[in-house]
């Protein structure tokens, strides 16, 4: 029996490539996106659906529809997310809330909705797409960092909570990938990037470097292949890195003290000025 997958944030980047790859591997894929018109590729077992992950009624409608059609959801991939670029001082209440609403609360909403179906079937896989910045802080990305740290905490706790029901929970921590993330998934706080901002020097030094690393990053198909492997391998680790930057920095994070690691990051991103 073909396994049924629900993936969020499927209109572009890693989500899009993963949805296509899973469909090509014979999975029945429901690709959730706010704007289905952006997903034009047609495959028999790929269903593009309108899904608002900030609205529990939209989530319920989606889950009920999949349940009615397939009778099950075997895999949930929480992929949707974006990065707010802002200092803590200059962020608005709305910006702070939206960052966590999309990157954190939506994962909890989806897990809350899907877990009962998996529990009844005594089987399931949940994959949370996190980031290597879920283990590493960077200035101007405090809210994104914090949201991805939260994703790691959700993953760790759910692994204990759902293991008795044979539900595996994993996080994938990508590095920088050459997708449209820099164009469509970075939200800039206007005050932070203003030339009169007290943080203008930091922003002008750091952001071009980050954008260059994203645009020159790994291909999304590498992350998609790891997601498929994680689904299919019962012995997959709790969390996996993918991409050059993630592998480098996470390994270094494990080896060094907090102070030594911070020193390395400061040197790498020229943050000592």
Query: What's the CATH number where 256 sits?
Result: 3.40.50.720
Domain range for 143 is 4-268
Mean pLDDT, residues 195-206 taken together: 94
Among residues 27, 30, 144, 199, the one annotated as catalytic is 144
Q: Give the total number of structural domains in the chain.
A: 1
Share of the chain above pLDDT 70, in %: 97
Mean pLDDT, residues 147-153 taken together: 97
Domain assignment present for 154: yes
Among residues 147, 148, 199, 245, the one annotated as catalytic is 148
Domain assignment present for 102: yes
Cα 63 to the chain's mean position, in Å? 20
Give the pLDDT confidence score for residue 179 in this predicted structure.
64
Question: Residue 148: which residues within 8 A CB-CB, separation 6 or more?
Answer: 103, 130, 131, 133, 134
Angle at which helices 93-100 and 142-162 cross, to 10°: 30
What is the per-residue pLDDT across 69-91, written as a single tens digit (0 to 9) for each? 999 999 999 999 999 999 999 99
Domain assignment present for 183: yes
Domain assignment present for 210: yes
130 catalytic per annotation: yes
11 catalytic per annotation: yes
Domain assignment present for 48: yes
pTM: 0.94
Mean pLDDT, residues 259-271 taken together: 92
Q: Is the pLDDT of residue 182 over 60?
A: no
Domain assignment present for 273: no
204 catalytic per annotation: no
Question: Residue 183 — very low, low, confident or very high, per pLDDT cuts 50/70/90?
Answer: low
The larger pLDDT score, comparing residue 75 to residue 247, is at: 75
């Amino acid at each position: 029996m073909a396994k049924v997958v629900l993936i969020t944030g499927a209109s572009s980047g890693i989500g899009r490539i993963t949805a296509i790859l899973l469909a090509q591997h014979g999975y029945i894929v429901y690709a959730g996106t706010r704007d289905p018109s952006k997903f034009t590729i047609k495959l028999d077992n790929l269903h593009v659906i309108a899904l608002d992950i900030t609205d529990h009624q939209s989530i319920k409608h989606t889950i009920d529809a999949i349940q009615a059609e397939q009778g099950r959801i075997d895999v949930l991939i929480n992929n949707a997310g974006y990065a707010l670029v802002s200092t803590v001082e200059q962020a608005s209440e709305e910006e702070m809330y939206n960052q966590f609403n999309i990157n954190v609360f939506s994962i909890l909403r989806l897990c809350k909705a899907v877990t009962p179906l998996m529990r009844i079937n005594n089987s399931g896989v949940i994959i949370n797409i996190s980031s290597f910045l879920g283990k590493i802080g960077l200035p101007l990305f405090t809210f994104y960092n914090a949201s991805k740290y939260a994703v790691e905490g959700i993953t760790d706790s759910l692994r204990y909570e759902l293991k008795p029901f044979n539900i595996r929970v994993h996080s994938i921590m990508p590095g920088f990938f050459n997708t449209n993330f820099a164009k469509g998934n970075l939200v800039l706080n206007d005050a932070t990037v203003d030339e009169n901002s007290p943080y203008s020097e930091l922003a002008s030094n750091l952001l071009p470097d980050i954008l260059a690393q994203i645009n020159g990053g790994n291909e999304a198909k590498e992350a998609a292949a790891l997601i498929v492997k994680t689904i299919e391998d019962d012995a997959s680790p709790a969390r996996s890195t993918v991409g050059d930057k993630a592998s480098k920095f996470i390994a270094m994070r494990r080896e060094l003290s907090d102070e030594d690691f911070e020193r390395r990051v400061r040197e790498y991103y020229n943050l000592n000025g």
